[in-house]
Amino acid sequence: MSPLEQARADLPARPFIDYRDGQLMVEGVSAAELAREHGTPLFVYSKAAMLDALAAYQRGFAGREALICYAMKANSTLAVLRTFVEAGCGLDIVSGGELERALRAGVEPAKVIFSGVGKTRAEMKRALEAGIGCFNVESLPELDVLSEVAAGLGRRAPVSLRVNPDVDAKTHPYISTGLKGNKFGIAHTDALVAYQHAAALPGLKVTGIDCHIGSQITETSPYLDAMDRVLDLVDAIEASGITLEHIDFGGGLGINYHGETPPAADALWQLLLAKLDARGYGQRKLVIEPGRSLIGNAGICLTETVFLKPGEQKNFLIVDAAMNDLPRPAMYEAYHAIVPVQPRETETQTWDVVGPVCESGDWLGRERELAVQPGDLLAVCSAGAYCMSMSSNYNSRGRAAELLVDGDQARLVRARESIEDQLRLESM
């Protein structure tokens, strides 16, 4: 297999991000030209890839009453949010800052779901004043505080209780959220009592039930198991006289980073909806909160080769992107495909691709076969989710610029961060 053929085989987002005449293209735009114009590191997102991923969910829910809330923690860049909002999505938030971003992006407040285990009184108050659609509540103390805050404003907060079904999502332990040992949600065995408590509080209006078991899930069985447990609870809760307007099944569907084969969103939801119908809840309003599966493979990070450092045990390929730009490998030992922007038809060597940050954990890829010279551009794939949103200024490095590509047009949606930007809020 030639270097070009191998590079093309490694791309997870074809046809939106693919090679044409030996050049990596993002839709109709040359990746090399984008790097020359805007510098590196540089995040580039394909709007068509984002909307194609969303369309699979929309097909799956055709004919159903459903609200797809993009989980904006995956990537909270305003242009990304705006793309999904304009396509009809709501937004799933986990902080007051994300609420302000969501509102700035133009979302209807009634399409905002507020998740997270540690909402503050100030965040609750702001969300109530904004008129959000629902709070996903994760503990009894949170129920009590939210009721108090809402009553103080003369309102009733719409709530859905996040139930922890104790289902193994078979994913990385850091991103598993549905087991007994996780910090999230109310235990399945305690849920009925929690709902009865919520229904008795003056500042709350119970509207639904929520479940989220993890992230980067690549099998259907955890979803099916979780749905059975949630629907058993719905039976018990409604038998006690509490009506649930909606059922929220969270998100977590995985993407192809390195040969994973998660189910297509529409195929997965056909299975889940068949079970929902069989249990008699086919007409209930549904809410879901996908994040990574909508944006992950729509983005790449372009980076330039700075030095080649052959060694006795390892060869290091040093690039200008680092763990502050792409934290997933350092945090989770995650795999991202790394491909040349303009493949060389020469013999490859085995390299560890590393950044300039002063940490041994600053690596982007281990033992990669690449034909490369200093100055060559590389693309780190599957960089749309949990890269820019988790980026930092470690080593006083400025955050990268971001571009959104739509057909043959590329638009700068976040300027590169300067050292002046970093220092603006500091004083001596």
Annotated binding site for pyridoxal 5'-phosphate: 252, 289-292, 386
Task: Give the DSSP H/E element, type plus range, for residue 409.
Answer: strand 409-414
Q: How buried is 428 (Cβ within 10 angstroms: 0-12 exposed, 13-18 middle, 19+ buried)?
A: exposed
CB atoms within 10 A of CB 256: 17
Closest of 310, 326, 324, 303 to residue 375, by C-alpha: 303
Closest of 320, 316, 289, 288 to residue 303, by C-alpha: 320
Whether the bond between 141 and the residue before it is cis, its omega within 30 degrees of 0, is no
CB atoms within 10 A of CB 334: 19
Rounded to whole angstroms, how far apart are CA atoms 54 and 264?
Answer: 11
Phi, psi of 411 (to 5 degrees): -120, 130
Residue 358 falls in the annotated catalytic set: yes
Task: Give yes or no for a contact between 249 and 226, defined as CB atoms under 8 angstroms apart.
Answer: yes
In angstroms, the Cα distances linking 92 to 96, 113, 136, 275 are: 12, 5, 10, 25
Q: At which residue do the structure tokens 């922890």 appear?
A: 164
Based on its alpha-carbon atoms, the radius of gyration of the chain, rounded to whole angstroms, reads 23
Long-range contacts of 358-361 (CB under 8 A, 24+ apart): 358/395, 359/323, 359/330, 361/323, 361/330
Task: Give the DSSP H/E element, type plus range, for residue 57.
Answer: helix 47-60
> DSSP secondary-structure letter at 111?
G
Q: Which of 211, 358, 381, 387 is catalytic?
A: 358
Binding-site sequence positions for substrate: 292, 328, 332, 359, 386
Binding-site sequence positions: 252, 289-292, 328, 332, 359, 386
Which tokens sit at 115?
């998740």
Q: How buried is 413 (Cβ within 10 angstroms: 0-12 exposed, 13-18 middle, 19+ buried)?
A: middle
The string over 313-331, giving b where at least 16 C-beta atoms fall within 10 Å of a residue's C-beta and e elsewhere, is eebebbbbbbbbbbbbbbe
Task: Give the DSSP H/E element, type plus range, for residue 132.
Answer: none
Rounded to whole angstroms, how far apart are CA atoms 335 and 1?
Answer: 22
Active-site amino acid positions? 358
